[in-house]
Amino acid sequence: MNPVQGQILDVVKGSVATVTLFLAFVYFPVLGMIPGFFAPLPGAYYALKNDRKIGLLVLLTSSALLLGLADSTLLLVYLLQAGVLSLALPEFLLRLKGGARSIVYSVAINLLVMLVAALLYSWDTGADLHAKVTKGVQSSITQTALLYEKAGVKGDELKAMQESMQQAGELVITIYPALVTVSLGLVACMNLLVLARVANRVRMPLYVGDFKKYRNPEPLVWLLIASGFGMLAPSTPVYLASLNVLIVVAALYSVQGFAVISHYFCKLQVPKFIRLLSALFLIIQPFMVLAVAVLGVFDLWGDFRSPKKQ
């Protein structure tokens, strides 16, 4: 097989894999969420394996397939959710920016594209996007409550569940900018992790860096402090902006906390099943992530990973 035929085959394989992963996310809302996270992976992989043009061709072919199989709305969701990352992440990796910077730059570009798309949509239709988000959340709460009611949940139990969902919905409406940012960062991290493993297996050169040495820039702590004080402001816009910034910065310090934990896991040669149990514990008890974020903040002063002087 000559190189051109190999590249054409890679475009076909990458496009089919991308469309399959994304449609699984669309048509299987719960089970399909995990494969949906990896919709950027095929395009990013073939861009790193062959060339940037191959990654772009995977994106264009996947877009054409989705437009033929579904509609323009799903195509737009794919482009904003996975398409930008499939191009941006390998681009910065090819520029040897390392894993952390590649993720930050890619997520920033994706957010900028989302913002531009939202502004263009509002300008063209005159729609209030915040009102649409609020309406969508309320609609989801109503549908979920109906499902529980049909399942046999009634009386005070149903009422208490509705109140809990209403409170959760109000929180989502308040912090959805931060949720979108953190979600994109999580998706980029998961795709980078798989890319690094695949690259190591096929002996493809890929500079990612050592996660155990990850450290946030020191000036970031001032943004954490400023956002914390901003939440005390009487102005609602300042409070909302500070809350969303605080969540994003706390997520970054959680990553640093996980890097500290990973360092000690490797240093103490903790068995893999203990590491797996620790990860499952964090999933079951998500409030422990806050403790990990605190660990990341105190690492600024404690410098837990530096060799101790005798």
Residue 29 pLDDT > 80, yes or no?
no
pLDDT single digits (tens) 126-171: 877 878 888 888 888 788 778 777 777 777 777 888 788 888 888 8
Q: What pLDDT is recorded for position 284?
A: 73
Helical ranges in the chain per DSSP H: 3-27, 33-37, 41-49, 52-69, 72-78, 84-94, 98-125, 129-150, 155-201, 220-230, 236-267, 272-284, 288-302
Query: What is the pLDDT confidence band of residue 254, given thresholds at 50, 70 and 90?
Result: very high
Residue 249 pLDDT > 70, yes or no?
yes
Give 145 or 255, the one with higher predicted confidence.
255
AA identity, residue 147: L
pLDDT single digits (tens) 203-238: 888 889 888 899 999 999 999 999 999 988 887 889
CA distances to 101, 205, 268 from 198, in Å: 20, 11, 27
Query: Can you tell me the distance from the alpha carbon of 284 to that of 120, in angstroms, rounded to the nearest whole number?
Result: 40
Closest by CA to 80, choosing from 22, 31, 147, is 22
Q: What pLDDT is recorded for position 1?
A: 62
> What is the pLDDT averaged over residues 32-57?
91
Q: What pLDDT is recorded for position 308?
A: 61
256: tokens are 């640093």
Closest by CA to 227, choosing from 251, 256, 248, is 248
| Residues with Cβ within 8 Å of residue 14, at least 6 apart in sequence | 42, 43, 45, 46, 54, 58, 61, 62
Q: Are 87 and 110 in contact (CB under 8 A)?
A: no
231: tokens are 């939440």
Question: What does pTM read for this prediction?
Answer: 0.88
Q: What pLDDT is recorded for position 91?
A: 94
| Residues with Cβ within 8 Å of residue 244, at least 6 apart in sequence | 175, 177, 178, 181
pLDDT single digits (tens) 77-109: 899 989 999 999 999 999 999 999 999 999 999
Query: Can you tell me the distance from the alpha carbon of 149 to that of 12, in angstroms, rounded to the nearest whole number?
Result: 45
Closest by CA to 106, choosing from 32, 171, 185, is 185
Q: What own/partner pairs with CB < 8 Å and gap ≥ 24 does 205-213 have?
A: 206/48, 206/93, 207/93, 207/96, 207/98, 208/93, 208/98, 208/99, 209/98, 209/99, 209/100, 211/99, 211/259, 211/262, 212/259, 212/262, 212/263, 212/266, 212/305, 213/259, 213/263, 213/305
Query: Can you tell me the distance from the alpha carbon of 45 to that of 10, in angstroms, rounded to the nearest whole number?
Result: 10
Q: Are 110 and 182 in contact (CB under 8 A)?
A: no
pLDDT single digits (tens) 176-206: 999 999 999 999 999 999 999 999 898 888 8
